[in-house]
Chains A and B, each alone.
Chain A
Amino acid sequence: EAGVGGFFTKTKSEINLFFNLVCDPADVISTVEFNQTGEFLATGDKGGRVVIFQREPQGEYNVYSTFQSHEPEFDYLKSFEIEEKINKIRWLPPHNPAHFLLSTNDKTVKLWKVSEKDKRAEGYNLRDEEGRLKDLSTITTLQVPVLRPMDLLVEASPRRVFANAHAYHINSISVNSDCETYLSADDLRINLWHLNITDRSFNIVDLKPENMEDLSEVITVAEFHPHHCHLLAFSSSTGTTRLCDMRARALCDQHAKLFEEAVDPSRQSFFSEIVSSVSDVKFSHSGRYLLTRDYLTVKVWDLNMENKPMETYQVHDYLRTKLCSLYESDCIFDKFECAWNGTDSVIMTGAYNNYFRMFDRASLRDVTLEASREVCKRRAVLQPRRVCVGKKRKETDVSVDSLDFRKKILHTAWHPKENIIAIAASNNLYIFQDRLTPNGHHNTPEIQSAM
């Protein structure tokens, strides 16, 4: 049975708990990303740490390495603090047995190498293994050190630091399919870097007006096409997404395509522009489609059709009447991410109350699931949730008015090949996976959750 309807509902689930009982704000997860094979999963948090999980042969993800990627800094020239929060993590395609990833905070992108070491050199000429000096008269021959096996040691080392190129906050990084360049985007500019060169980058998009009072839009997210090294998409706070062709000219200020849906004037309101701001853009794995998330919907665009999306899915349409209070609480500016599954047939995105949504593109069925410690017991079944506007029809229904807007799922990731998803809810990471049943059907998700 295909589709999300059957996918996450009538199943037994499994959960693996790594909860941190004391909630430190620095532990709040700020980004989640699988590597190209799905064997590794990286999270970044507000405290500047990166945690890498590795999938065990049995299928569970366990902590592989933890390191401090960014530290808080102070910009003395401009007199402001630079937070250590990790805004984005992107894995590089595999080079060699080590793993490489880019992590960024507001200002600085770093390239990290995570490698394994299982051998150690032994044998000194002048000292014994405890470090005591030997009696020189006992040395009659030279000794070359030899390598001996040791316990596996996973090391993370910073390989490059790409700094001083952004005047505004970096919101995205994306590795090009040519595997030698990547982009970093801030509110107004997109820079192109060579992975081996840290002292210069090329500015390829610049939206900064001569006079900052004329500023009408900011870049919210940017991403490279998965296969074509010359294509990149970036979206803005005005609800548009632009596709740029780097072949056409060195500066990409002029876009090749502009994806924008005409707004029905009768539905215009004070909040129209705010809710239309695009908070995430993802190319499909095939490279044919673009997925965009705005405050209330996710949309699928065909690269060949600019004037309207192919599909629009309502994430939480019931909030349309609550925009005023969401504006007052600043929730309306929350930046929800979105994700494709490995075959581009299902879409996932987060919502409030620790809910996340999935949409099956073929059957048009959708489901709301909850990632919370109360429901995610190991091997538990994930029950679909329903939010109702008026009266509750079922006991399990939740009224709009009782939604908790402080519990939001902003960051989600989908395994590149399998039905495994990672959901970050505050300081908790939930990994749900679809477990093979004895007859080989993919219909049993295992739920694993980690801190």
Chain B
Amino acid sequence: MAGAEGDDSLYPIAVLIDELRNEDVQLRLNSIKKLSTIALALEVERTRTELLPFLTDTIYDEDEVLLALAEQLGSFTVLVGGPEFVHCLLPPLESLATVEETVVRDKAVESLRKISQEHSPVDLEVHFVPLVKRLASGDWFTSRTSACGLFSVCYPHVSSTVKAEIRQHFRTLCSDDTPMVRRAASSKLGEFAKVLELDYVKSDIIPLFTALASDEQDSVRLLAVESGVSIATLLPQEDLEDLVMPTLRQAAEDKSWRVRYMVADKFSELQKAVGPEITKNDLVPAFQNLLKDCEAEVRTAAANKVKVFCESLPEDSRETIIMTHILPCVKELVSDTNQHVKSALASVIMGLSTILGKDNTVEHLLPLFLVQLKDEYPEVRLNIISNLDCVNEVIGIRQLSQSLLPAIVELAEDAKWRVRLAIIEYMPLLAGQLGVEFFDEKLNSLCMAWLIDHVYAIREAATCNLMKLVEKFGAEWAQNTIVPKVLGMANDSNYLHRMTTLFCINALSEVCGQEITTKHMLPVVLKMSTDQVANVRFNVARCLQKIGPVLDSSALQAEVKPVLEKLATDQDMDVKYFALDAISGILAGQNNLPIMMLL
């Protein structure tokens, strides 16, 4: 019977539908995530008339379920019958856009924005715009905040009468009683301005911007800053001075540090938006003030922008402005009382050298770098070291290294292992910049000292560091400088140091090549197979497996094989295990050799 066959295929869907109401949140969530499967089975008609009405009223659920639902509905158009019926998705999304949970509301708005594109101009006016208006005049602030994000998507596609209404609604929300709605309007002002005709930007948006930027709540004012930047990009240069600059100037000097912080944080965008003339006349003094702000958070944000700001200064006056206006402030920041300010500065200050050139760098910047390299906070020192390359290009490594080295040595011996670790990671970079001679003279001993650090993470990083150094300086250098030292540790009384030898060999064999490995390293490894500590012995087995591919088959046969065989009969279980593992591993590496050749 055809009906009976139908039952079987209905079953999984029936389970999914039932689980939409399961008591277990996880099952409900799984079901919601497969909503498209359910809709597909129900077909478009029943999805529209039964499923969507049910979903519209299920807004009592957990946030995660609602979030998944809001997301699903954004790509549901096909499942309700295509663009012709897309408006059926509006009711459930409308109710989701009013829940108290911000992430759910935001997701609902995102989906609404998405499906707005699938509405025909007529449907927009008949279905979508009324929804926006309902939300905008809702009783609760949750719905009004959601409305703020929907104006800009429908505005371009509707008639001029409706446009006027939309503008009016937006105006109303900008002076809403609750700060939450004014904040939402304030943050969407820039986006809305972008879709408005220029005349309306001037006549409507500017007064709103001015009002929001002088709102009594600083939480609203600070959001107006970013919108101000977007608005500035829309206006012709000649209007900027009259329409936005007074407000932006006021924001840069706002009583509230949070507003000034936003100005500092958006400074590069602002600079780009207002162009070179206003930058010279207005932004330079404003930036100086922000760098000298009494609140450390503001100084931190401004310090972060020093490089980008200087880079984007108009070329004709760049150097003068930096030398006379910015550098004096930077000098003060170098000895700021707050570590975050100094750290922010240290992450960008090196970038100034490429802008200012060699002479200025040596004369003015190098002393500042040195102060920061000797800073009491490791993060500040680290930020300097990690940006050395840009200074290197300008003044050359010799000059740099002479002044730098003591500070690096100090960091390399820092009591905090994470600081040491960070320095190790910069070693290959430094080595490349300093050259082999200089490295051997000053840094080699440091690199070796890390091998016997009491923190494993440092020893491990040091091993890896050696490999990278050999990649840079070559096998011959390795044979002369580091291999003897590494192999010497095989006789150390501390078994951890003996193991480090093995780990180094693991890392180095490939970069050092067959000759060094066979001649120098292999004998040491083989000798260690009789070590009294089992951990060393099984690491010998692992090491042999690791270096196996580098060795030729005669060495494998004559030297490696007997040792591994012996280890395979070791009393210790782990040693046995790794020895057998190594034997089969080497076999696999030699792929075609019959197993009997080794055993």
Contact = CB atoms under 8 A, between A and B. Distances in A.
Given A178-B179, A247-B256, A143 B216 contact: no
A117 interface: yes
In this complex, the member of B14, B140, B255, B256 whose beta carbon has the largest number of chain A beta carbons within 10 angstroms is: B14
Contact of A250 (B98, B180, B257): B257
In the complex, which range does the number of interface residues on chain A fall in?
35 or more
B25 to A, nearest CB: 12
A121 B178 contact: no
Interface stretch (A80-88, A92-100, A234-242, A270-278): A92-100
A23 B255 CA distance: 54
A227 B216 contact: yes
Interface in A241-280: 246-250
B217 A229 contact: yes
A177 B140 contact: no
Nearest to B51: A144
Interface in B256-298: 256-258, 294-297
Given A115-B60, A127-B18, A249-B257, A145 B217 contact: no
Interface string B216-231: 1111000000000000
A152 interface: no
A304 interface: no
Nearest to A138: B7
B131 to A, nearest CB: 17
B3 interface: yes
B140 A121 contact: no
Given A93-B178, A98-B100, A250-B297, A142 B42 contact: yes
Contact of B21 (A117, A124, A141): A124
In this complex, the member of A97, A136, A144, A179 whose beta carbon has the largest number of chain B beta carbons within 10 angstroms is: A144
B7 A139 contact: yes
Interface string B41-84: 11000100011001001101000000000000000000000000
Nearest to B296: A250
B151 interface: no
A294 to B, nearest CB: 32
In this complex, the member of B21, B42, B100 whose beta carbon has the largest number of chain A beta carbons within 10 angstroms is: B100
B594 interface: no
Contacts of A250: 257, 295-297
Given A142-B42, A248-B257, A177 B179 contact: yes
Nearest to A146: B54
A180 B219 contact: yes
Contacts of B254: 247
A387 B295 CA distance: 54
In this complex, the member of A136, A159, A178, A180 whose beta carbon has the largest number of chain B beta carbons within 10 angstroms is: A178
A172 B219 CA distance: 23
B54 A144 contact: yes
Interface string B183-218: 100000000000000000000000000000000111
A113 B294 CA distance: 41
Contacts of B100: 95-96, 98, 100, 113, 159
B141 interface: yes
Interface in A183-223: 196
Interface string A112-139: 0101010101001111000000001101
Contacts of B58: 121, 147
A140 interface: yes
B140 to A, nearest CB: 4
A228 interface: yes
A98 B54 CA distance: 20
B102 interface: yes
A248 B255 CA distance: 7
A417 interface: no
B415 interface: no
A140 B219 contact: no
Nearest to A96: B140
Contact of B142 (A95, A119, A121, A141): A95
B17 interface: yes
A193 to B, nearest CB: 14
Nearest to B180: A179
Nearest to A134: B14
B20 interface: yes
A8 B192 CA distance: 55
Nearest to B13: A142
Contacts of A144: 17, 42, 46, 50-51, 54
A98 B7 CA distance: 42
Interface residues of B, number: 47
Contacts of B15: 125-126
A383 B143 CA distance: 49
B13 to A, nearest CB: 6
Interface in B1-43: 3-4, 6-7, 10-11, 13-15, 17-18, 20-21, 41-42
Given A140-B3, A178-B179, A124 B54 contact: no
A392 interface: no
Contacts of A406: none
B306 interface: no
A145 B17 contact: yes
Nearest to A227: B216
A143 B15 CA distance: 11
B257 A196 contact: no
Contacts of A229: 179, 217-219
Contacts of A139: 7, 10-11, 14
B99 interface: yes
A142 B10 contact: yes
Given A100-B100, A140-B6, A144-B17, A178 B217 contact: yes
Nearest to A228: B216
Contact of A142 (B17, B183, B218): B17
Interface string B241-256: 0000000000000111
A117 B216 contact: no
A10 interface: no
A176 B255 CA distance: 19
Contacts of A179: 141, 178-180
Given A142-B13, A179-B178, A230 B218 contact: yes
A98 B257 CA distance: 35
Contact of B18 (A95, A117, A124): A124
A147 B21 contact: no
Nearest to A119: B57
Contact of A95 (B20, B21, B140, B183): B140
B54 A145 contact: yes
A399 to B, nearest CB: 52
A177 B217 contact: yes
Contacts of B217: 177-178, 228-229
Contacts of B295: 248-250
A172 to B, nearest CB: 21
B18 A96 contact: no
B4 to A, nearest CB: 7
A113 B101 CA distance: 11
Given A137-B4, A145-B54, A126 B256 contact: no
A98 B98 CA distance: 11
A121 B179 contact: no
A133 B295 CA distance: 67
Nearest to A196: B102
Contacts of A113: 100
15 contacts: A95-B141, A96-B143, A121-B58, A126-B14, A126-B15, A136-B7, A139-B14, A142-B14, A142-B42, A227-B216, A228-B216, A247-B254, A247-B255, A247-B256, A249-B257
Q: Which 9 A-B pairs have the closest CB atoms?
A: A247-B256, A125-B14, A144-B50, A178-B219, A95-B100, A96-B140, A147-B57, A249-B295, A229-B217
Interface of B: 3-4, 6-7, 10-11, 13-15, 17-18, 20-21, 41-42, 46, 50-51, 54, 57-58, 60, 98-100, 102, 140-143, 178-180, 183, 216-219, 254-258, 294-297
Given A136-B11, A140-B6, A248-B255, 9 more contacts: A142-B14, A143-B14, A177-B179, A178-B219, A179-B179, A196-B102, A230-B218, A248-B257, A250-B295
